[in-house]
Amino acid sequence: MADFRLPKNSRLRPGKLHKASEDAKDVRRFHIYRYNPDDKENPQIDTFEVDQTQCGPMVLDALIYIKNHIDPTLTFRRSCREGICGSCSMNIDGTNTLACTKSTGDVKGDVKIFPLPHMPVIKDLVPDLSVAYAQYTSIKPWIQEEVEHTGDRERLQSPEDRKKLDGLWECILCFSCSTSCPSYWWNGDRYLGPATLLQAHRFIQDSRDQKTDERLQELEDPFKLYRCHTIMNCTKTCPKGLNPAASIGDIKQKIAEQKIKGISLKKG
């Protein structure tokens, strides 16, 4: 019989319970993944009882309260607290999202918090995004031109062309979508993943970019693009309400059209 257990060094062990004070009025339990590579120990789940009258309504508010008042060693990323930087992406109540926009009121029962899944963990809730950022860099996320832009005027764009970027430019690279994708879990070293492909689509759609054909040719790869099997986890989990799956589908369609155009030109 097959054995599907986790490796010994990744199996969770019981953690500490940090009880609330006796005069706490509205106690909520937060179960938080803890891992410190310096300890040489397996990760554990610590439980924190938080008086919600002492902190704000969002999960990030609770994490900040825990760090400031209960356990200063708790480690996580955060910055804007407004859902626009993507720093505090993590798995909350089984879903990848942003801690700063996830209300504790939306979670039934205890709040369970883990780092983004299937990523190496640096410490506690901080995943190692080195590979993801390298993949993002590989798509050349800037406007490319055949001839260098000169003059003192900006690159103009019609309202119609600008509208094509809606649903793309809003991506904040939190990587909630990529880390919810089974294809990315299995082929994360070669499949670019929904977040990077959404960003690639953003520049493919930009009328000011003059390297569309080259971008499409670069993406035509069995792993970079075609590991997507339209599972739709990416679209379901995106905290900004974007649709990476649609972007991936459009890239595939544009590559097919490019091939058909190339065949027609050869025949002509």
Boundary residue ending a domain (108, 127, 146) = 127
Tell me the C-alpha distance between 183 and 171, whole Å: 20
Same domain, 114 and 47: yes
What is the per-residue pLDDT for 147?
A: 77
Same domain, 84 and 122: yes
Domain that holds residue 257: 130-267
What global pTM score does this model have?
Answer: 0.91
Boundary residue ending a domain (127, 152, 177) = 127
Same domain, 189 and 225: yes
The residue behind tokens 């899944």 is 117
- Domain membership of residue 2 (yes or no) is no
Same domain, 137 and 99: no
What is the per-residue pLDDT for 264?
A: 58
What's the Rg (C-alpha) of the chain? 22
- Domain membership of residue 120 (yes or no) is yes
Same domain, 96 and 14: yes
Tell me the C-alpha distance between 86 and 98, whole Å: 7
Is there a contact between 216 and 255 (Cβ–Cβ < 8 Å)?
Answer: yes
What is the per-residue pLDDT for 115?
A: 98
Tell me the C-alpha distance between 8 and 28, whole Å: 31
**What CATH number does the domain containing 114 carry?**
3.10.20.30
Low-confidence stretches of the chain (pLDDT < 50) are: none
Same domain, 22 and 97: yes
Same domain, 36 and 118: yes
Same domain, 111 and 137: no
Q: Could you read off the pLDDT of 121-132 as tens digits, one per residue?
A: 999 999 999 999
Residue 119 CB contacts under 8 Å (≥ 6 apart), including other chains:
127, 128, 129, 132, 179
**What CATH number does the domain containing 263 carry?**
1.10.1060.10
Boundary residue ending a domain (99, 127, 155) = 127
What is the per-residue pLDDT for 146?
A: 84
What is the per-residue pLDDT for 58?
A: 98
Looking at the structure of the chain, the number of domains it has is 2
Residue 267 CB contacts under 8 Å (≥ 6 apart), including other chains:
none
Same domain, 90 and 112: yes
Tell me the C-alpha distance between 76 and 126, whole Å: 5
Same domain, 15 and 87: yes
